[in-house]
Structure formats: C-alpha cells, structure tokens
Amino acid sequence: MLTQEEQNIIDQSIDILTRHYKREDFLATSPEGVKNFCQLKMGLLEHEVFGCLFLDSKHQLIKFVEMFRGTVGGLSVYPREVVKESLMCNAAAVVFTHNHPSGDTDPSTADIETTNRLCEALQQFEVRVLDHIIVSRISSYSFAEKGLNLG
C-alpha cells in the first residue's frame, strides 16, 4: 500500500509526463517509451481500464483516451466505440493498452480475442493497430514484441 506522500509524488510525475507528451513531443516509435507511458497512466489502478493512444500517420500522439472502465477482474470493450473515437480524431494508427491489477501481465484468451476483434474492426477503416500493451504496477507486456498477430 502506498503512503499518501508516495501517491502525491506519483500523481505529480504523471502530470509532468502528461504535459510533456503532447502531440508534437511524443512519438510512438519507441516500444519502451510507449510501455512506460502506459504503465505510468494505468499501472497503479486497482480496477481494469482499457485505453487507446490515437496516432497520426507519423505515429505522433493525437490523444490518449481511457475508453472503458471495469472491475478488479475484468472489463468489457466495445469495438464500435473504439472505431468511432478513431475516426473522430482522424487517427491513422492506434496502440491499445489496459492494466491487470493482479500484477500478471500475460494476456488472457479474452485479451487476445478482444484484440483480434478490434483489429478486424479498425482494418475496415484503414486504421493500423501497432500494439496492445498490458501493464501492471511492476511490469508490462507488448503483443508486438512477443510477435502476436495485430491484423
């Protein structure tokens, strides 16, 4: 359990990083940088959250959106809503991310199936899926780095 002082430091760090990860500053070309960003945004949450990094054609961050919130053990993801948000911000590419409060970042069968459904939906609109990153407070897992199919 974090002390209030530790939580304040983490919150301040996230605020600083968020200010620096503006569209012109954050390129999603470094897997480590993207994993660190996702881990800072969601790694300490006690409930599952699914988010998307929406990117332009040069893989610059357009915006990060927490799309869905779940419970400690799961969440529902709706491809229609991800497609809609992608089109609204004119994204050329996307990185999915979600957290596992349990600390185990290995993808579940449901994580893999959800990723496949999202890839199929976005492919219809020529939005490239670059990665799906699962984070916890201490580690991260990249579908792209592990060679899992992303459409």
Least confident among 43-47, 48-52, 124-128, 145-149? 145-149
Please report the pLDDT score of residue 151 as a whole number: 67
Assessment of whether the complete model's pTM goes beyond 0.85: no
As a whole number of angstroms, the distance between CA 70 and CA 47 comes to: 6
Residue 122 lies in a domain: yes
What is the domain range of residue 45? 4-142
**Tokens found for residue 11:** 């919150």
Query: How far, in whole angstroms, is CA 132 from its chain's centroid?
Result: 7
Residue 148 lies in a domain: no
Residue 74 lies in a domain: yes
Residue 79 CA: distances (Å) to CA of 54, 84, 85, 115, 130: 14, 9, 10, 9, 16
Residue 112 lies in a domain: yes
Residue 149 lies in a domain: no
Residue 115 lies in a domain: yes
Residue type, 27: L
Find the CATH number of the domain harbouring 99. Answer: 3.40.140.10
pLDDT tens per residue across span 8-47: 888 787 777 666 655 445 666 678 888 988 998 899 899 9
The number of domains in the chain is: 1
As a whole number of angstroms, the distance between CA 87 and CA 64 comes to: 14
Residue 118 lies in a domain: yes
Residue 151 lies in a domain: no
